[in-house]
Structures are given as structure tokens and as C-alpha cells.
Copies of this chain bind each other. A is one copy, B any other.
Amino acid sequence: MLYDILVPQLTKNLRNLSAILDKGAQLAETKKFEVDVLLNARLAPDQFNLIRQVQIACDTAKLGVSRLTGKPAPSHEDNEKTLSEVKSRIDQTISYLNQFSTKDFEGAETRQVTTPRWDGKYLLGTDYVHHHILPNLYFHITTAYSILRHNGVDVGKKDFLGEMPFKK
């Protein structure tokens, strides 16, 4: 169950993130400025820039799934500088997520999850998903979106939400 509400969402949202970065690249090309300007943009002087927002979104997904399943995650050096490096980071994260299946999440609901920052406290797996992974993922992707939108990139909520599993 936890797999179903988590992993496909993570993958979809990271793909949406990659797609809005492409829209940023399009604007840079049209307006003849370096896309690096967008990659280094932020909405406040003490806020992380766009590259870092993407890195954290990726780590939220990667470490989230790793901690819930007890499987190791690949490490990343957070040294991405170009658009293609940033997009590759997203692709690598999606490839990692694609290795998991429902079976890996057996018992994850009640697994005790902690991070080095939590001083020995922990969250149960279900709480970790709903109070930590999903809010953080959406927070950093929306912030990336806002940085692009503020700088004139033509993104709208549909780009953020992505494809919906409509039935009729």
C-alpha cells in the first residue's frame, strides 16, 4: 500500500520537475540568456537556489525510499552545475526508484525511520511518508516552480500536477 501511494508519485513529480526545467531552457534560448542564470536563481538571498532545490527534491525521494525499505541509496556529491547535470541527477533518482516494487515495502508502514538530524527520535513509516517525504517533495518542487515562474518561465499548475489517472 505504501509503495502505491508513494513511489509512483515520486517518479511522476520528478518527471514533472525535469519538464519544467526544460521550459526554463526554452525561455533562455528564446531570450538569449544563459540557462545558468535560472539554475542559480532564488526568491530570497538566504534561500537555496534552483539547483539545490532540485538536489533536495531528489534526495527526499531517494533517502525516503531507502529508509522505508532498509535498502542502501547511491550517494551523490551535490556538484551539479549545468542543466544536463541537474537533469541527469533527476534521471538517476528515477532509475533508483524504479528498482523498487511493492514487495520491498513489506512492513514499511510500521518501520521506525530516523535521520541523523533527529537526535534519536523516529517516525513510524506511515507518518514519515505523510509528514516528511510528501510535504518536503512538494515543497521543493513548488519552490523550483516558483523560481522559474518568477523569472518569466511559462509554467502553470498543470505542469506541476502532471498527468492525472482519470477514468470515464
A interface, size bucket = 35 or more
Asked if B164 contacts A130 (CB within 8 A), the reply is: no
User: Hey, what's the 0/1 contact readout for A60-102 against B, CB within 8 Å counting as 1?
Assistant: 0000000000000000000000000000000000000000000
Q: Report the copy number of this chain in the oligomer.
A: 2
Contact B47 A149 (CB under 8 A): yes
Which of B112, B121, B142, B152 meets A142, CB within 8 Å?
A: B142
Q: Are A168 and B120 in contact (CB under 8 A)?
A: yes
Do A146 and B9 touch across chains, with their CB atoms under 8 A apart? no
The residues of B that contact A164 with a CB separation of less than 8 Å are 123, 127, 131-132
Dominant SS at the A interface? helix
Mask: chain A, 128-168; 1 = CB below 8 Å from B; 0 = not = 00111011101100110010011010000100110011111
What's the least CB distance linking A163 to chain B, in Å?
9
Interface of A toward B, CB cutoff 8 Å: 5, 9, 13, 43-44, 47, 112, 118, 120-124, 126-127, 130-132, 134-136, 138-139, 142-143, 146, 149-150, 152, 157, 160-161, 164-168
